[in-house]
Amino acid sequence: MCIADKIAMTEQETHTPTTTNPVSNVLFVCNFNAVRSPMAALIGKNICGNHVQIESAGIHKDLGEVNPFTVSVMNEIGMDISKHIPKHTSDLGNKPIDLIVTLSSQAHQWAQNHYKNTRMIIENWPTIDPTQSRGNRENIIAAFRSVRDGLEEKIRSRLLNINDVEGQSD
């Protein structure tokens, strides 16, 4: 059983993922679309290439800019997120979505309320908010690295197993 399936099994009222059906449109949602969800989207796009359409958004309207620590830790793995412009969930329009991955409890509640009468697959991947880390720069950047690495592991497990894209990037 993959990590994402274990997480989904522990969440109350979370739709159970269907591991035999391919997922072609994924939405990562967090609070402000400045740290966790844009990290996940960029990592997912890098892993899945054109096999999966991936978007990210935040649930709060007071969106700022991508966090500078997010830019730093993504640069460490060769991914440039510096031009990311945070989006609100309402900015997505009617884009098709097969799977919503929520990265905070607030985003999970939003998804359950917003999609309660649909057959949308909603998975909650509780992910710490590294902006809440305290201490020196090394402690803070370590928290951001931990989030990045944890998201990459979950995305590889969930999306590669489902879509059998074997890390191909187009």
- Any idea what the CATH number is for the domain that residue 100 is in? 3.40.50.2300
List the domain range (segments joined by +) for residue 87: 3-126+134-159
H or E segment at 58? strand 53-58
Q: Would 8 be classed as within a structural domain?
A: yes
Model confidence at 21, pLDDT cuts 50, 70, 90, reads low
Q: What is the pLDDT of residues 40-81, one digit of tens each?
A: 999 999 999 999 999 999 999 887 899 999 999 999 999 999
DSSP state of 16: P
Q: Would 114 be classed as within a structural domain?
A: yes
Neighbours of 78 (CB within 10 A): 7
User: Any idea which residue has 């999609």 for tokens?
Assistant: 115
Q: Would 24 be classed as within a structural domain?
A: yes
> Could you tell me if residue 47 is left (phi over 0), alpha (psi between -120 and 50 degrees) or otherwise beta?
alpha
